[in-house]
Amino acid sequence: MANKLLNLNPNSVVAEPSDIVNADWNASEGAAQILNKPNLATVATTGSYNDLINKPNNLQTTDNLVTTISASSTDTQYPSAKCVYDAIQEGGSSGDARYALVTPTVTTSTTTATDDTISVTLSDLSVNSVTVPSSVAYVNIKFPEKTTGMARDFFLRLTITGSVPEITFKEYDNTTPSFDVTDIEWANIGQGVNIIAFMETSQP
């Protein structure tokens, strides 16, 4: 091992271990005081969510989380992922939280020599399974009739076997739907299984 020469200034003072003072964030004077501290927000020292500022006011809270859904569910409640799965799963036990899988009656009419049109009336509180044959160019979807005091809520499982048809929506009485369906991105619908969810935001 090589020797090392330590050259100390004779006028310097070496602190004894007992003289070393740990810094104290809260100290306002003395050797423990920390100088030039940044101005930290309260939450930086408390770690409490309640000390955050500019918090969003539309966050989901555990108070709103529900594990079952039914006709008495409200718009301020948020179903868990398992709850949604249970609600739309095929089969399973009966109850308000299970949406039955139904196959609506499909009426087919010939529009041209090669293009057919199918018309389907959906069922409320159900998963409506509709298969579109490759010969179909137009699909008319009718919403179920309204029930006083209840908002309609249903799923459409649309299986397309050929080219994507032109799809239109009508109320049960052939009028234009009272709620907005114009924001649906039809470009996202293609061959195979497509799941579309419908829910009214207010009760009739």
What would the pLDDT profile of 99-110 be if each residue is shown by its tens digit?
A: 677 787 777 775
Q: Is residue 170 part of a domain?
A: yes
Q: Is residue 157 part of a domain?
A: yes
Tokens 């299970």 -> residue = 98
Q: Is residue 50 part of a domain?
A: no
pTM recorded for the entire structure: 0.47
Is 40 buried (19+), middle (13-18) or exposed (0-12) by CB count in 10 A?
exposed
What would the pLDDT profile of 124-147 be if each residue is shown by its tens digit?
A: 888 888 888 888 888 888 888 877
Report the pLDDT value the prediction gives residue 12, as an integer from 0 to 100.
59
Q: Is residue 75 part of a domain?
A: no
Backbone conformation region of residue 127, classed left if phi is above 0, alpha if psi is from -120 to 50, else beta: beta
- Rg value, the chain, Cα: 33
Sequence-separated (6 or more) residues with CB below 8 Å from residue 182 = none
Domain that includes residue 106, residue range = 100-199
Number of domains within the chain: 1
